[in-house]
Amino acid sequence: MAEASTGRTLASASRLAILQLLRERAEPVGVQEVADATGLHPNTAREHLDRLVAARFVERTAERRGTPGRPRWRYALVRRPAAAGADELFRRAYLAAPPSWEPADPDARRQVAALELHLDDLGFDPELEPATETVHLRRCPYAALARERTELMCQVHLELVRDVLEVEGGPVTAERLEPFVGPQHCLLHLRGL
């Protein structure tokens, strides 16, 4: 059910535009700022933001005010390190990897674990291939929409991957996303493993 919900969340050009806007902003933004930047009515922008919050792409915080009344909500991309599950995911990935792959850099290990957790949560069925510095995304949960708007969808997903790697900090970077090397199979190219 979560996969379908996430797919529907990203199946909106308006929500993709909001995600791109939030990615470009260093500080959290309010509903009116989102509405002004995207051309949406504030109520529509708020509904889209609520959907993005529910899907865990965006987090909402109350603005601190010195006046009485309801606080305004501020929105930003979720940029927190993947925590508890990342260690277990890394352990499984490490044990499944060929014996020749053993990154010396603990930051790279942490980045890879967080990335695999993120991609798995979204339903991509990721499989790391360290020798070629690629991640096979065996199942694209957004394949139908991505076929219609490949460049936009794949760019949004690539930027989300870059954000995950950046938040974790370390040598691994995402270079490009190669869409549809198979029916629902995409290839993520990394550097720095």
Q: How many CA atoms lie within 13 A of 51 on its CB side?
A: 19
pLDDT at 135: 93
Dihedral sign from CA coordinates of 5, 18, 33, 167? positive
For the chain, counts of helices (H) and of strands (E)? 8, 7
Residue 86: closest CA among 57, 58, 122, 118: 118
This prediction has a pTM of: 0.53
pLDDT at 31: 96
Longest dimension (CA), the chain: 62
Query: What single string gives the DSSP state of each residue in 20-88?
Result: HHHHH-SS-EEHHHHHHHHT--HHHHHHHHHHHHHTTSEEEEEPP-SSSSPPPEEEEE------HHHHH
- Per-residue confidence band for 131, with pLDDT thresholds at 50, 70 and 90: confident
Q: How many CA atoms lie within 13 A of 61 on its CB side?
A: 9
Average confidence (pLDDT) over 169-180:
93
Q: What is the pLDDT of residues 64-114, one digit of tens each?
A: 877 888 888 999 988 654 444 444 444 455 445 444 444 557 788 778 878
Phi and psi dihedrals of 115, rounded to 5? -65, -45
Q: Identify residue 12 by its one-letter amino acid code.
A: S
Domains of the chain as residue ranges with CATH: 2-77 (1.10.10.10), 84-191 (no CATH)
